[in-house]
C-alpha cells in the first residue's frame, strides 16, 4: 500500500523539520504553517481562558507560570507521537510484519518500541526494508532524546539571564517598574550618570530578550518570579523613560537614550510579529496631564533641562504611538499587565517584603531608615 507510506513519510519529515526549526535553527521562521505554532495557538488560549476566571492574582499567576514548562514537555510528547505514528504508517504500508500480525496497531506498537529503543523483540520486521527502517528509527530515537536534553538547559539559561535583568530593576524602578520611579530614584548627585549607565545596560538586555525569544519562543511564556514583574513590564518602563527623556528634555547628551529606545522598540515590534499579535490601541491613557506634570518635575530634579510643555507633550505622544500599540498587543496575547508611567500611590518594593515580615511585623523600611540615620 502506497498511501500509508506517503502519509507516514510526510508526518516524519514534518516533525523532524519542526524540531530542527524550533531547537537547532537560531532565527525566526517565516513559514506560515508550522505544527509548533499550531500547538501553541491551540493550547495557550485555552490555558489563558481558565486563568482569566481565577480571581486571586497570586493563584492566577501561579497557574499561568505552569504553562511555559508544561508546554515544552507536551511539545516533546507531541513530536514523539508524530514520529511513532509516522513510522508506524510506513511499516504498515511496507507489509514488513507477518500476515497474522499485519495490523496498523501492531505496526505502531513496533514503531513505539523502536523509537524508545526498548528492544522487547515480541514483534520484529520480516523484510530487509523493514529492518532498515527499524534501525533508522532507533537512531532517531537516540537523537530525539539528545535533542530534548540539550534543549531544556538552553531554555532555562535564557530564562535565567532575562530574570536577572528584571530583578535588578526592582530597587531602581519599583515593583512594578515605572518610568516615574526610575526618575525619582536617580535624582540627586551622579543621578544622570547612573541613569545613562542603566540605559546602556538595558540596550544590551533588550537585545538579549529579542534574540532569546525569537530563537526560543517558548521562553516568552515563562513568567517572572514575582507577580508584579515581567519582561514586558520591564521593557515598557524603559521605553517610557527613554520616550520622556527624548521628548521633554533639551539635554544634548541623549545619545544613549536614543539607542536604548531604538533597541527596545525593535524588540517589542519583532516579538509582536513573531507571535502575530497586531498592534492595538490602549484601552485607557497611561499618562494623564497631571501625571505628566509630576514627571516633568522629576526630570528637572534629576538635573535635565526641560523643553516647553506643549511641544514636549506632542513629541511624547508621537514616541508613544511608536511602541504602545505593540505593547498592548503583546499584553493581550500573553496576559501580562503594562504598568503606568507613574504610580498613583507608593507600592512596597519586592526586596522590602518577606513572608516573615508579614507574620512578625518586621519591616525592611525600618532597617533602611535606621541605617541611614546611623550614617
Domains, the chain, in order of start with CATH, read 3-150 (1.10.287), 169-345 (no CATH)
125 in Cβ contact with 110 (< 8 Å)? yes
CA 327, 332, 336, 337 torsion: positive or negative?
A: positive
Q: What is the pTM of this model?
A: 0.82
108 in Cβ contact with 122 (< 8 Å)? no
Is the per-residue pLDDT at 241 higher than 90? yes
Q: Using one digit for the tens of pLDDT, what is the confidence trace for 5-18? A: 889 889 999 888 88
Q: Using one digit for the tens of pLDDT, what is the confidence trace for 314-333? A: 999 999 999 999 999 999 99
Strand partners, 306: 249
pLDDT band at 367 (very low <50, low <70, confident <90, very high): very low
Q: Which residues contact 315 (CB under 8 A, 6 or more apart)?
A: 246, 247, 248, 307
pLDDT band at 26 (very low <50, low <70, confident <90, very high): low
Amino acid at each position: 500500500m502506497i498511501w500509508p507510506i506517503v502519509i507516514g513519510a510526510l508526518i516524519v519529515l514534518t516533525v523532524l523539520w519542526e524540531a530542527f526549526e524550533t531547537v537547532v535553527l537560531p532565527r525566526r521562521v517565516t513559514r506560515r504553517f508550522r505544527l509548533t505554532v499550531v500547538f501553541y495557538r491551540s493550547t495557550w488560549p485555552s490555558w489563558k481562558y481558565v486563568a482569566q476566571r481565577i480571581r486571586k492574582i497570586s493563584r492566577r499567576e501561579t497557574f499561568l507560570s505552569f504553562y511555559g514548562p508544561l508546554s515544552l514537555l507536551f511539545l516533546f510528547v507531541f513530536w514523539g507521537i508524530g514520529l511513532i505514528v509516522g513510522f508506524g504508517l510506513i511499516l504498515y504500508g511496507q507489509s514488513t510484519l507477518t500476515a497474522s500480525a499485519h495490523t496498523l496497531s501492531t505496526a505502531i506498537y513496533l514503531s513505539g518500541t523502536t523509537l524508545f529503543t526498548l528492544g522487547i523483540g515480541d514483534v520484529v520486521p520480516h523484510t530487509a526494508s523493514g529492518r532498515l527502517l527499524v534501525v533508522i528509527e532507533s537512531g532517531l530515537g537516540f537523537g530525539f532524546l539528545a535533542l530534548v536534553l540539550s534543549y531544556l538547559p538552553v531554555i532555562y539559561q535564557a530564562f535565567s539571564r532575562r530574570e536577572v535583568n528584571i530583578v535588578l530593576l526592582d530597587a531602581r524602578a519599583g515593583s512594578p517598574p515605572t518610568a516615574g520611579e526610575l526618575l525619582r530614584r536617580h535624582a540627586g548627585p551622579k543621578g544622570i550618570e547612573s541613569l545613562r549607565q542603566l540605559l546602556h545596560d538595558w540596550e544590551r538586555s533588550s537585545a538579549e530578550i529579542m534574540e532569546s525569544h525569537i530563537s526560543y519562543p517558548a521562553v516568552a511564556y515563562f513568567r517572572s518570579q514575582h507577580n508584579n514583574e515581567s519582561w514586558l513590564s520591564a521593557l515598557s518602563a524603559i521605553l517610557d523613560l527613554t520616550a520622556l527623556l527624548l521628548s521633554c528634555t533639551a539635554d544634548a547628551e541623549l545619545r544613549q537614550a536614543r539607542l536604548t529606545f531604538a533597541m527596545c522598540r525593535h524588540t517589542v515590534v519583532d516579538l509582536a510579529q513573531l507571535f502575530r499579535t497586531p498592534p492595538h490601541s490602549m484601552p485607557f491613557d497611561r499618562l494623564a496631564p497631571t501625571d505628566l506634570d509630576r514627571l516633568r518635575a522629576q526630570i528637572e530634579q534629576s538635573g535635565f533641562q526641560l523643553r516647553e510643555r506643549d511641544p514636549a507633550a506632542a513629541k511624547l505622544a508621537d514616541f508613544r504611538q511608536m511602541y504602545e500599540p505593540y505593547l498592548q498587543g503583546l499584553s493581550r496575547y500573553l496576559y501580562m499587565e503594562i504598568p503606568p508611567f507613574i504610580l498613583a500611590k507608593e507600592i512596597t518594593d519586592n526586596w522590602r517584603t518577606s513572608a516573615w515580615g508579614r507574620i512578625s511585623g518586621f519591616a525592611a523600611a525600618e532597617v533602611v531608615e535606621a541605617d541611614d540615620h546611623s550614617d
